[in-house]
Amino acid sequence: ITLRFTITDSSHYHIVHCLDDTEAGLQFFTDGMLLVKDGKVIELGPAENIRAQLSADSLIIDHGEHLICPGLIDCHVHFPQLDVIASYGAQLLDWLETYTFPSEARYGDPEIAQADANFFIDELLRNGTTTALVFASVHPTSVDAIFTAAQQRNMRLAAGKVLMDRNCPANLQDTPASAYHDSRELIEKWHHQDRLLYAITPRFAVTSSDAQLAAAGQLAEEFPDTLIHTHLSENLDEVAWITELFPHARSYLDVYAQHGLLRERSVFAHCIHLHEEDYQEFAQHGGGMAFCPSSNLFLGSGLFDLKKAHAYGVNVGLGTDVGGGTSFSLLQTINAAYKVLQMQKQSLHSAEALYLATLGGAKTLGIDDKVGNFLSGKEADFIILDNTPTPLLARRLAQAHTHKDALFMHMILGDDRSISETYILGERVYKKGTVSS
């Protein structure tokens, strides 16, 4: 066994992470070190304490004035929608018909799927995203492609085959039986291989029959530690259609709950147009929400109520929702989240924003024992935030009075240019300015 150490060090050296979602839970080290061995965090602390633990073969990496932060977690993103991003002029249901379904139809081709999976994963890493919960397409080959790309880079990533057997083009439909068998095979092939996790992925209740939702529920029962990943209450026309399709359900959420799809590690993207009882059901059954502000603005879907989700103790993470969303950057997504919350007279301080993009996301995906911050024993996925990525951000950071102000500036003015390096399990997989990771 080779022992690999990656240690970061400097005389005034910055590290930030969250212990919880409060301002008090934001830990900032101005002279800190992160001690990593065999891909795991050994310890984070003041440099003088850590230095005492170093051995002769320790590798010390000095990131100077730049900020070290846990890898960002994208709780909702579509890999076969790379070529849908920035499509003009439609809201959800038209957007799906016009742009999204035609794009996803190409992913039955294993060569296209593999090439685009590699591009997609590299784009995540270039944006500082080290973990994501990913929609593939209806084709099992698209799931093989995304897991292969993630596994080659040692990433912790969850994904699943989309299930849809109605209200979409015939060439994109599966059936309840094929959905069950294909998902089952993919679970047996990929779930818990290295750092990969399978997510049972009915697209949304519009495109899954009762029989197919029942099949998804059966899988969820047979494989209780998989994730479940779907869309919920994003757009008012969608919600109205659900009422027609499921006249006996109490609500949209109830359609999923009745099929056993609301449980721990169920992740619902959007959750905008909910009833009070829905929040109660979330609180009781433990499902999480992916807040996708850039998508919600781009598609004109509505404003996510973070305050209410928190009041009910529901786990919330951030999703870019590319291609409905307009950026792979979770910094840009925080920027959009801040504005969505401002429109509702809610606030989002920098500690809570960092929490949503790291530990909150990890909790939502049920992997907060593995990633999300720098507690001892966690997997060492982290990023280096450049403090001079653009002239404007450099100028504003030089004026910051507090660490929290500086962090807020990174979030509002930052994007992919802010990510100078990305590390997976203590190994650098991306460095800004190099063509390939």
Query: Where along the sequence are the contacts to Fe ion (CB under 5 A)?
Result: 269, 321
CB of 128 to ligand GUN, least distance (A): 22
> Measured from the CB atom, is 5 or 328 closer to ligand GUN?
328
Tell the smallest beta-carbon distance from residue 136 to ligand GUN (Å).
11
Minimum CB separation of residue 79 from ligand GUN in Å reads 11
Judged by CB under 6 A, does residue 208 bind ligand GUN? no
Smallest distance, ligand GUN to C-beta of residue 431, A: 32
The answer to the question of residue 78 lying near ligand GUN (CB under 6 A) is: yes
88: tokens are 């003009």
CB of 20 to ligand GUN, least distance (A): 29
Query: For ligand GUN, which is the closer residue by CB, 21 or 165?
Result: 165
Q: CA-CA distance, 394 to 225, in Å (whole number)?
A: 44
Closest by CA to 73, choosing from 195, 183, 192, is 195
Number of residues that bind ligand GUN (CB under 6 A): 11
d(CA 51, CA 40): 17
Please state, in angstroms and rounded to a whole number, the distance separating the CA atoms of residues 26 and 408: 13
295 is a contact residue toward ligand GUN (CB under 6 A): yes
DSSP letter at 387? S
- Pick from 21, 165, 174, 234 the residue near ligand GUN by CB under 6 A: 234
Query: What is the number of the residue whose Cβ is closest to ligand GUN?
Result: 324
Q: Work out what residue 14 binds among ligand GUN, Fe ion, none; the CB cut-off runs from 5 to 8 Å by kind.
A: none
Name which of residues 91 to 130 contact ligand GUN (CB under 6 A): 92, 96, 100
CA-to-CA separations, 309 to 235, 291, 332, 367, in angstroms, rounded: 18, 10, 22, 20
Residue type, 133: L
Q: What residues form DSSP beta bridges with 104?
A: none
Query: What 3-state DSSP class applies to 41?
Result: strand
The whole-angstrom separation of Cα 169 and Cα 105 is: 9
Q: What CA–CA distance (Å, rounded) separates 358 from 69?
A: 9
Residue nearest to Fe ion (CB): 321
Do residues 150 and 123 lie in contact, with contact meaning Cβ atoms separated by under 8 Å? no
CB of 72 to ligand GUN, least distance (A): 20
Residues that bind ligand GUN (CB under 6 A): 78, 92, 96, 100, 203-204, 231, 234, 295, 321, 324
